[in-house]
Amino acid sequence: MINSLRQLDLNLLLTLDILLEERNVTRAADRLHLSQPAVSVQLARLRQLLGDPLLLPGPRGMRPTARADALRAPLRQALDALQKAIAVPGPFDPATADQTWRVAASDYGGSTIVLPAIASLRLHAPGTRLAILWVRPAAIAQQAEQGSIDLAFHVAAEAPDGMRQRSLFKERYLLAGRVDHPRLRTPPTLEEFRELEHAIMSPEGGGFVGSTDSALAQLDLTRRVVLSVPNFLFLKSVLARTDLVALLPARLLDGAPELRAVEPPLEVPGFEMTMLWPERVHRDPAHTWLREHIAGAAGAT
């Protein structure tokens, strides 16, 4: 079969389709914008390749052979399918879409980027589905290229090479504790800050050192980190129920009345969140719509 296809020129199949419809070389040449001799040459090549006369002289033009009659319907279907396969995609219509999208995000990315987009996504694209997967930073590029995920949200400083990306927002840290924490009624001094018992979110698990400790180390200072947790959701619950404090991203404190937030007594570098996707879907209309929708909900400019 492969060898047979290699011998065929797509132009020959287009010519055969028109010839079978018109049953006249002159009219077929006009529709193909070719000369009559050129169409006759193509017909001769088709006869040779298919081992059949295909079209024979008749009283009212040309009449198809039995082989040509058998070819006509499957040939037209094949050409229609090929045309659809290579056609430029039309505009994406979210109202009729039925895609299932898969995005990778941490609990922070899910809360600050995906969550604000969900209500609007359900409103504008009610037939779609959204799966949120736990982000695995080391595997983002491979998962995206293989189609396991459509989008990922991660800190820009750790974005893998070779992926398209769009900055969503820059985040800063605030010192947070329970809403009635007696030592957070006013922003603490640096010495008071160091005396507090701190919790930390360690994405790799079990760590007791973070960016705050790096900032303190530049001043030859340390703090008391007594608890390490694997995600921000659990950390917020801990803060609401104990006297522990923690440096939390400011966006996580929106809509958290159980917590009080104040400015920390030293400058702790924040981070930039970015949206990541592979080149293979960069121009896909549905994917473009999803990216714009989520970026808009996240407040990206």
Q: Enumerate the H helices of the chain as residue ranges.
A: 2-6, 10-22, 25-32, 36-50, 66-86, 107-109, 115-124, 140-146, 190-195, 211-217, 232-241, 285-297
pLDDT at 91: 86
pLDDT at 86: 81
- Residue 37: how many CA atoms within 13 Å on its side-chain side? 0
- Is the CB of residue 32 less than 8 Å from the CB of residue 14? yes
pLDDT at 301: 67
Give the pLDDT confidence of 257-271 residue by residue, as tens digits: 999 999 999 999 999
Per-residue pLDDT 10s for the chain (301 aa) are 334 556 667 888 899 999 999 898 889 999 999 999 998 999 999 999 889 999 998 777 789 999 999 999 999 998 888 887 787 777 899 999 999 999 999 999 999 999 999 999 999 999 999 999 999 989 999 999 999 999 999 999 999 999 999 999 999 999 999 999 999 999 999 999 999 999 999 987 789 999 999 999 999 999 999 999 999 999 999 999 999 999 999 999 998 999 999 999 999 999 999 999 999 999 999 999 999 999 999 988 6
- Residue 92: how many CA atoms within 13 Å on its side-chain side? 18
Q: Could you give the C-alpha distances from 113 to 75, 116, 161, 183, 225, in angstroms and in order?
A: 49, 6, 22, 32, 29
pLDDT at 1: 38
Collapsing DSSP to helix, strand or coil, 62 comes out as strand
pLDDT at 297: 94
Domains of the chain: 2-86 (1.10.10.10), 100-169+272-297 (3.40.190.10), 173-269 (3.40.190.10)
Give the pLDDT confidence of 122-167 residue by residue, as tens digits: 999 999 999 999 999 899 999 999 999 999 999 999 999 999 999 9
pLDDT at 165: 96
